[in-house]
Amino acid sequence: MTILVAAANDSLRERVVTVAVDLGHELNEELHVVHLVDDSVSDADVARFRASLEERLATAPVVSTITIQRLDYAAGRPRQQIGAALADLAAEDGTSHIVVGHESKELVETLTKGNTAFAVADMARVPVTVVPAGNGEPPD
């Protein structure tokens, strides 16, 4: 079984990856690091993101795979759709746990775009660890 890690291109990525690596190491489970992008993200940006993840995970004490998946957002709440896609992917992969980041948003933004972490926690059939935004430092 694996731990699904939702790696966003944001300030929380390092915290999320650190928590996932620690969890995978302690539970002796592999990581499946997933980054979902839409069609507006260039192939060059995707390649840079993958390279940065590969560099970060190269010395991690766990086996990991990285998947970059393009997601075609339908009209509506994109973060909600990302959460649903992650929950679906976890169900398909036989994932045992999900790690996702969460940064509080303004009410209007949450109402119009949704909330990825809440959607994953609501839809997933496995435990979900939600990594909150902090002071920018990785957790101890």
Give residue-wise pLDDT tens across range 78-137: 677 888 888 888 888 889 999 998 877 655 444 445 578 888 888 889 999 989 887 555
Note the pLDDT of residue 82: 82
Give residue-wise pLDDT tens across range 49-69: 999 999 999 999 999 999 988
Q: Looking at residues 20-44, what average pLDDT do you find? A: 91
- Asked if residues 71 and 40 have their Cβ atoms less than 8 Å apart, the reply is no
Give residue-wise pLDDT tens across range 30-39: 999 998 887 7
Which of the pair, 132 or 25, is modelled with greater confidence?
25
pTM score, whole prediction: 0.82
Q: Indicate the domain borders of the chain.
A: 2-132
- Asked if residues 133 and 104 have their Cβ atoms less than 8 Å apart, the reply is yes
User: pLDDT grade, residue 9 (50/70/90)?
Assistant: confident
Which fold does the domain 2-132 belong to in CATH? Rossmann fold (3.40.50)
Q: What is the DSSP letter of 61?
A: S
Rounded to whole angstroms, the Cα distance separating 84 from 61 reads: 29
Rounded to whole angstroms, the Cα distance separating 83 from 48 reads: 23
pLDDT at 14 over 80: yes
